[in-house]
Structure formats: structure tokens, C-alpha cells
Amino acid sequence: MDKDILILGGGPAGLSTALHLQQQAPEFTSRLLVLEKAHYPRPKLCAGGLVADAEILLERLNLDVREIPHTDAQSAHFDFRGRGISVSVPGSHTLRIIRRDEFDAWLAEKARSRGIEIREGVTVQSVRPDEDGVTVLTNQGEFRARVAVGADGSNGQTRRAILPGEPLYTARVLELLTPTYKDPSRPALEKTRGQVAFFEFSPVPQGIAGYTWDFPTQIGGQPKRCWGIYDANLPASGQRPALKETLAAEMKNCGLELADYELKGHPIRWFDPFTRMSVPRVLLVGDAVGADPIFGEGISMALGYGKVAATELAQAFKRENFSFTGYRQRVLTSPLGGTLLARWLLTYLIYTFRWSWFQSLLWRVLKPFVILVAWFLVLNWARRMR
Ligand SMILES: Cc1cc2nc3c(=O)[nH]c(=O)nc-3n(C[C@H](O)[C@H](O)[C@H](O)COP(=O)(O)OP(=O)(O)OC[C@H]3O[C@@H](n4cnc5c(N)ncnc54)[C@H](O)[C@@H]3O)c2cc1C
């Protein structure tokens, strides 16, 4: 055996699994190895919005994300055709926006400084569990361990290898970067949107199960805006409306031409409570299981999966039982599972009833109800993670 535990993928889910294991059971530090196909800092398409739950999980690992460049959105606005709900946290930021190349490289550096071994440039090609362990074939040869953790994201190999027949629920997402509104021709927009993370749900009646976003961000210290469009691509909808045109129309409302910027796309696998999350000797974390289906928010979830998986792994080694039959139950009954289940149900509610009058009701009239549901069911779960 090369190691006891191989973690396949060094994004937030894989690194969180390693960091939580190191924290919960330091004796595992030298017994685990993270295999990452890229080299840090590596690009990762993501708007980089960190909700408070992500920061709570990081703080509990004694990590302070303010060490890396970030932009704070003072409020989040959820809009439907010009009116909606604004949320802010008195005396604090509402959303902290990081760049993923910087964030993931920082997390990897923190893991290394705590003695965790990470090998970069190792691409997992196949994962083969057997009775005594698991064999992982990579571009750098074969690795053998007692267990493996699939943390290789929405397009990863691990899930495909161990659960080939499982249904896939995948959101379509497009993203691009533009200059800020600090242009003399757009003073009104700078005032209304400058410090705001803006979510626009007007695409819903067109059959898009999602929204467009417009966040403040920075690249190399230069302020920018990050725009994008998310479509959960619900199996029930049966349609695939064009995302690019819808995003272009939203951007035009702010005086921006989509064609002037480089547009990129990446899928997000979202959580479904009936999906399997492990097989004997291999368990999955992060997008390999599924992110939030309402917004495609997955960084806090990835950090949360890492914590649950670390507890599962420590107990498996204690009992010398690597069936992981209780892992799904452990995820579902955790505060992480609670928020994922709530978000899964809300996704079908918000995006199935896509009539304009319903969206107006939701984002304009039912404000107190929406805020209460968000506060108690969607957010504030990480503090309860034990
Ligand atoms: C356009 C877009 C915008 C988003 N915006 C937000 C946002 O604002 N806020 C938010 O919370 N979430 C956002 N998300 C979701 C978020 O990016 C993911 O949920 C999150 O990255 C999941 O973390 P992960 O560690 O599971 O996977 P990843 O971050 O994808 O990490 C997987 C890691 O595994 C490595 N890997 C992949 N394949 C292999 C292989 N074969 N061998 C070895 N290594 C491999 C990759 O290089 C990567 O480092 C967004 C996603 C997209 C696509």
C-alpha cells in the first residue's frame, strides 16, 4: 500500500477532507495523499462567492480567508424584473468574493504547511476498489491505498468509475468578466450595483431554472464584475432555452455587450437525495456528490462534505470496516444534508412554477417569508456542524 487514504482531487472538497482529518485525527496526516491533476494556482471557472457558512467552516480550521485578495459585497439583491429583495448583514459583508485560483492555492498551501502531502500533475484515469483496498490508475502510474475519496468535481472520473449507472443532474453555467461600473457614463449603476451581489430571476418564465448574476470581484487587485447565468436544467422542464442570448439581454440592460468579453462554460453537478455517495472502499465529496441546486453554490458545501467525510473515514479505520454503508445517512442527517435537502425541495418549488405572477409574488410580495426560509433552512447550517 502507498498510503491508507488517497484523496482524488485537490479542490475545496478534497483539501477540506484532508484538513478536517488532520484536525480530527492527526495520526492520519502522514497516512494520506492528495492527488491533483493541475498545478496550483490553477484556473477554475467559478464566481467565487463565499457565504458565511464557508467562512465559519474555514475559521474552525483556523484559516482566515482575508489573507488572500477578496471583494466584499455589502448586500445581496434577489430581483425579478426590476424589483425584489435586498439582504444585508448589519456591520458585516453579505458575500465575500474570492478568485478560485488564489483560494484553492492558498488552501493547498495551508494543507501542506500542516504536513499533508499533495502531488500535483497527477491525473486520475480509473479507480478500482476490491476487497482489500483500492487501485487508482493515473498518468503517473498506479497508486494503491486502503480507501479513496473522490473529490474530483462535477466532471470527475471517480464517480463515473464507481457508480457508472447513476442518474446525473447537471446544471448549465456560463461566466465572464467585465470592467466595473466606475465608468463616468454609468454613475447610476455604480451607485445601485457597485457593492451588491445581484441575482436576477427574470429568466425563469422563459424556462431557465435559474438566474443571471452580476458580482463585484477583482483580478490582481483591479476591480471587475463577474457576470454569469445558471440553469439547473431540471429534468421536468424538458426544454433547453439558449443561455447566451438571455445573459446578453440582461447585460444589455447595464450597457454591456456580451460579445465584447470571453464567455466560458462549466457544468455543476447538483445534489439529489436519492443519489448514492459511496461504494465499499470509496466515498465521494463535494461536486462529485452534488452542489446546491437552487444557486449552484458549492464551495461551502464542498468544505462541509469534507468535514462529514473526515468523521466517516476516522470511524471506518477505528472499526476496520470500509463498507461506508452509513455514509449517505451521515451526510443526509448532518446540517449539510439538511440544507441540501431543503434546497433540493425549494428548487422544484421555485423553478417548476415559472409563471411571471408566481415569481413576482416570491421575490416581491413574500419577502418576509422568503427571508425566514432562507435564514432557517438554506443558510446558517455550518455553525451546527459538529
Ligand atoms: C461558473 C461557475 C460559477 C460558480 N460560482 C460559485 C459561487 O459563486 N459560489 C459557490 O459557492 N460555488 C460556485 N460554483 C460551484 C463551485 O465552483 C463548486 O461547487 C466547487 O468548486 C466544488 O468543489 P470540489 O472540490 O467538489 O470540486 P472542484 O472545485 O471542481 O475541484 C476538483 C479538483 O479535482 C481536480 N481533478 C479533476 N479531475 C481530476 C482527475 N481526473 N485527477 C486528479 N484531479 C482531478 C481538479 O483539478 C480540481 O482541483 C460555481 C461553479 C461554476 C461552474
Q: How far is the CA of 238 from the centre of ligand 1 (A)?
A: 26
pTM of the model: 0.97
**Protein residue with its CA nearest to atom 41 in ligand 1:** 124
Domains contained in the chain, CATH given: 3-68+98-166+275-384 (3.50.50.60), 170-268 (3.30.70)
Residue given cell 475559521 in the structure block: 59
Q: How far is the CA of 287 from the centre of ligand 1 (A)?
A: 7
Tell me what pLDDT residue 200 has. Answer: 97
Cα separation, 51 vs 328, whole angstroms: 24
Cβ of 268 less than 6 Å from ligand 1: yes
Q: In a mutational test of the pocket of ligand 1, which residue from 33, 37, 301, 379 has the highest number of ligand atoms less than 8 Å from its CB? A: 37
The pLDDT confidence band at residue 123, using thresholds 50, 70 and 90, is: very high
Cβ of 210 less than 6 Å from ligand 1: no
Residue 133 has pLDDT above 80, yes or no: yes
Q: How far is the CA of 173 from the centre of ligand 1 (A)?
A: 12
Q: How far is the CA of 9 from the centre of ligand 1 (A)?
A: 9
Backbone torsions φ then ψ of 371, nearest 5 degrees? -65, -40
Q: Please give the grid coordinates belonging to residue 318.
A: 477505528
Tell me what pLDDT residue 192 has. Answer: 81
pLDDT digits (tens, 9 = 90+) for 17-48: 999 999 999 999 999 999 999 999 999 999 99
Cβ of 98 less than 6 Å from ligand 1: no
Tell me what pLDDT residue 376 has. Answer: 87
- Mean pLDDT, residues 378-383: 93
Tell me what pLDDT residue 29 has. Answer: 97
